Amino acid sequence: MSYRTGGAERPRKYMTHIINPDSAPGEDILGRKAFAAQIVEGLGLFFGDRKESLVVGISGKWGSGKSTLLDYIQEDLEDRYKSSERPFKVIKFNSWGHTAEADLERSFLEKVLETVSKLNWKEKTSAANDKFKKYLGYLDYVKFAGHFHPVIKNMLEGAEEYRKKVNVVSLEEIKETANGRLEESGTRLYILIDDLDRLAPAEITALFRILKVNLNLSNTIFILAYDKQVIIQALEKEYGLDGEQYLEKIIQVDFHIPQISEAQMELLFFERLADFLKKVNVKFDAGAFRTVWRIHGLNEYFRSIRDLNRYFNNLVFSLPHVAGKVNLFDFLVLDAIKTFDAQTYHRLYDHITEVYRKGIWQRIAIDEPFIARYEKETTKALLGYLFVRQHSDDGNGNQKRFRDREYFERYFALGVPSKVSSFDLLENFFLKESSAQVVLAAALASGKLPELLGRLGEESLSGSHKLESLNVFSDFIEFFSSRSEPADLEEAILRMKAYFNLVRLFDDQHRATLAALAKLKLEKDRTDRTAFLFLHVLVRYVALLNLPKEVDSYIRLNADKLNENLLVYLHGHSIHQFHTLSTGSPNWVDNLFLIGLIEDDPEKYLAEFTERMSPKLIWFIVFHNLFVFKEGKPDGVIKSYLDLFFPTAVLSMVLRMIRETQAGQMREEQRQDLGYFENCIRQQRYSEPDQDQKK
């Protein structure tokens, strides 16, 4: 399904309501400014006249407002020092902007030393500043050299030559010089470090090493904002020790950001919502909608200020275009699902379309069993509100419910879609003056192709419609050959049911059967993935297609002939296909080719595999055919399929190639999959295929 964006320009007057969760503080809606003042006051009392550095931690969950709190701390520090004679400087460092470990260390040192070198000392310190400037030049050289020396050894040798040439002192001497100036002048440094929990484990430990070894400067307070649990896990992963104990040795003072209470979150949500709806001139019954928040589970999606920002940043783009044309309560709920459970949101359209299509001839409804197919409990509760629970309107007299077939598509578009329906498309498909390709293209553009194919696949269609021209089969195959391939077997079967059901609409069904199958004839020297897919499914999954009697009889009588045609195609395209599997971006249709070859000619498969074996090819076979999955993760290897794809003689070569695979030859997660596969073989962790894999 393609999600339409409409043609309307985004209203600029609503842009002021978009809030960046990491932006500078505005209205202090949670009392964070007072909390910041308490921290600064406490640091002043704790630090006193001590000269050694201090490391302060501010821990809070992701989205709890750590960045905002650091901004308030900076504001408070600047206000306090306005009336103080003591010199000070605040340095703010966003650690996430520097991904590589070496780049992180260099950038941090560079920022601190550059700030120190520019401080206004009470006495002339040209000698000290000269040392700082030379060291900063050295850091610049290392950074510059890193872009031009592919061999790290040469880069470091060049940097060392540079250091000696311009008489750059050591980092230890730089630190001593900085400490002397800071102590002599009494200058206090506050170094605020944000987004520490977004770094990789090695980068986190590198930054801690800088704080404790390289930059434990006098008169300096480091204030770090992070998610404590994330940091602990990173330390344990990097060092294999108790992360909490390690952190306690680094952090001398620990503050924790108070959690937002449910009452505060509800107040914030409804204040933001009322303010926004007022801007777009939409009436709102807050009392009625609180039932959705409290009883139906909408509040479960919102756990931080960042969650609020994500939701309203989406809403500001979507609601103004459909306000008054949909049920407001339903739209607010669906937009929450889109924000916090995007996978369900994108599946929902296809599932609803499927129900409406099949509901014409089967007893299928959008009810609690339909809702039970989704995973997240909060999402299921809200889908129950949308489909099962009764409510009349949204406070504006609007009853255009999401579950109403007439209106549900409006909820998936920024603008109201055109009134074209699958019924209109079906009628146009059978007009003598129309082209089947044009109608199929119109269905695709309007998002109604699944509905149209469903109607074309109805057996009852033969009672109301007739076809005379056999060109309809050419149009059908040519259209799908020029479009993207079906996402899965289910979508392929939907296309095939429609294609072969057209046979029922001819007076001479035998002639129509021959014409339909003629378009699927495969050539050894011509690539035709659509015809291959149709023929492969036709031969192997004939029971799933509910074919017309004439087609079914022909398939069964000519199974050997059709299989032979498939085998000729498989042989003719095996080299190209294995090249795609090894170097391209193969999909499930490519896997069907692989399965077809291994079933019809295993010797040919083994010959091609051993000649073109690569880590990517091995991963594709393992991931798509040999793994059993549990909760979305590999959970064992299917022994019977292992013997089929990798017989004993081949398996040893496969395992050797896996062990020799280096980082950079494939994506890291793929390399991890192969490592898990090797462990399964070594530990004989075998499983049986589930029903989908057997199919």
Contact assessment for residue 593 and residue 570, using Cβ atoms and an 8 Å cutoff: yes
Same domain, 346 and 225: no
| pLDDT at 440 (0 to 100) | 86
Look at residue 19 and tell me if it is in a domain: no
**Separation between Cα atoms, residue 536 and residue 77, nearest integer Å:** 72
| pLDDT at 396 (0 to 100) | 54
H or E segment and range at residue 380: helix 377-387
Q: What are the tens digits of pLDDT across the range 342-359?
A: 888 888 877 777 676 555
At 106, the amino acid letter reads R
Residue 415 has pLDDT above 50, yes or no: no
Q: Which residue has the higher pLDDT, 646 or 441?
A: 646
Same domain, 314 and 373: yes
Residue 129 has pLDDT above 90, yes or no: no
Look at residue 52 and tell me if it is in a domain: yes
Nearest to 625 by CA among 640, 613, 603, 609: 640
Provide the 3-class DSSP secondary structure of residue 638: strand
| pLDDT at 676 (0 to 100) | 93
Contact assessment for residue 53 and residue 216, using Cβ atoms and an 8 Å cutoff: yes
Same domain, 274 and 324: yes
Same domain, 214 and 359: no
666 vs 200, 584, 658, 672, CA distance in Å?
20, 12, 11, 10
Q: Please work out, in degrees rounded to the nearest 5, the angle formed at the alpha carbon of residue 449 by the alpha carbons of 446 and 453.
A: 155
Q: Which residue has the higher pLDDT, 168 or 670?
A: 670
Look at residue 156 and tell me if it is in a domain: yes
Contact assessment for residue 56 and residue 43, using Cβ atoms and an 8 Å cutoff: yes
- As a whole number, the mean pLDDT across the chain is 77
Query: CB-hemisphere CA count at 13 Å for 417?
Result: 19
Same domain, 225 and 280: no
Q: What are the tens digits of pLDDT across the range 505-553?
A: 999 999 999 999 999 998 888 888 888 888 888 888 777 778 889 998 9
Q: Which residue has the higher pLDDT, 446 or 76?
A: 76
Quick one: 120 exposed, middle or buried, by C-beta within 10 A (0-12, 13-18, 19+)?
A: exposed
Residue 642 has pLDDT above 60, yes or no: yes
Residue 204 has pLDDT above 60, yes or no: yes
Residue 159 has pLDDT above 50, yes or no: no
**Separation between Cα atoms, residue 34 and residue 30, nearest integer Å:** 9
Paired sense of beta strands 54-59 and 220-226, if any: parallel
| pLDDT at 336 (0 to 100) | 93
**Separation between Cα atoms, residue 359 and residue 557, nearest integer Å:** 34
578 pLDDT band (50/70/90 cuts)?
A: confident
Look at residue 468 and tell me if it is in a domain: no
- Can you give the residue range of the structural domain that contains 392? 261-412
Query: CB-hemisphere CA count at 13 Å for 365?
Result: 5
At 413, the amino acid letter reads A
Among 363, 396, 412, residue at a domain's last position: 412
Paired sense of beta strands 188-194 and 220-226, if any: parallel
Q: Which residue has the higher pLDDT, 147 or 166?
A: 166
Residue 316 has pLDDT above 90, yes or no: no
Same domain, 279 and 371: yes
Please provide the size of the chain in residues: 695
Residue 368 has pLDDT above 50, yes or no: yes
Look at residue 43 and tell me if it is in a domain: yes
681 pLDDT band (50/70/90 cuts)?
A: very high
Among 210, 239, 256, residue at a domain's last position: 256
Q: What are the tens digits of pLDDT across the range 265-289?
A: 899 899 989 988 988 888 888 888 8
Look at residue 68 and tell me if it is in a domain: yes
**Separation between Cα atoms, residue 661 and residue 175, nearest integer Å:** 44
Domains contained in the chain, number: 3
| pLDDT at 214 (0 to 100) | 59
193, β-bridge pairs:
93, 224
Torsional sign, CA 3, 416, 290, 295: negative
Contact assessment for residue 426 and residue 455, using Cβ atoms and an 8 Å cutoff: yes
Rg, Å, the chain Cα set? 33
Output the six-digit token pair for 390: 């009764």
296 vs 171, 197, 399, CA distance in Å?
60, 33, 19
| pLDDT at 162 (0 to 100) | 43
Among 383, 412, 441, residue at a domain's last position: 412
Least confident range from 18-22, 428-432, 602-606: namely 18-22
Same domain, 218 and 328: no
Residue tagged 């390399």 (tokens):
671
Same domain, 248 and 274: no
| pLDDT at 101 (0 to 100) | 46
Torsional sign, CA 199, 200, 204, 209: negative
| pLDDT at 674 (0 to 100) | 93
CATH number at residue 126: 3.40.50.300
Q: Which residue has the higher pLDDT, 286 or 120?
A: 286
Q: Which residue has the higher pLDDT, 303 or 390?
A: 303
Same domain, 192 and 58: yes
Contact assessment for residue 494 and residue 449, using Cβ atoms and an 8 Å cutoff: no
Look at residue 388 and tell me if it is in a domain: yes
Same domain, 129 and 171: yes
At 308, the amino acid letter reads L
Q: What is the pTM of this model?
A: 0.45
Same domain, 272 and 319: yes
Question: In the sheet that 686-687 helps form, which strands lie side by side, from edge to edge?
Answer: 627-630, 633-638, 686-687
H or E segment and range at residue 203: helix 201-209
Q: Which residue has the higher pLDDT, 395 or 643?
A: 643
| pLDDT at 647 (0 to 100) | 92
Q: What are the tens digits of pLDDT across the range 37-71?
A: 888 888 777 666 677 778 889 888 776 778 888 88
148 pLDDT band (50/70/90 cuts)?
A: very low
| pLDDT at 497 (0 to 100) | 92
Same domain, 291 and 330: yes
- Which alpha helices (H) appear in 584-667, and where do they start and end? 588-600, 602-612, 615-621, 639-645, 648-660
Residue 134 has pLDDT above 70, yes or no: no
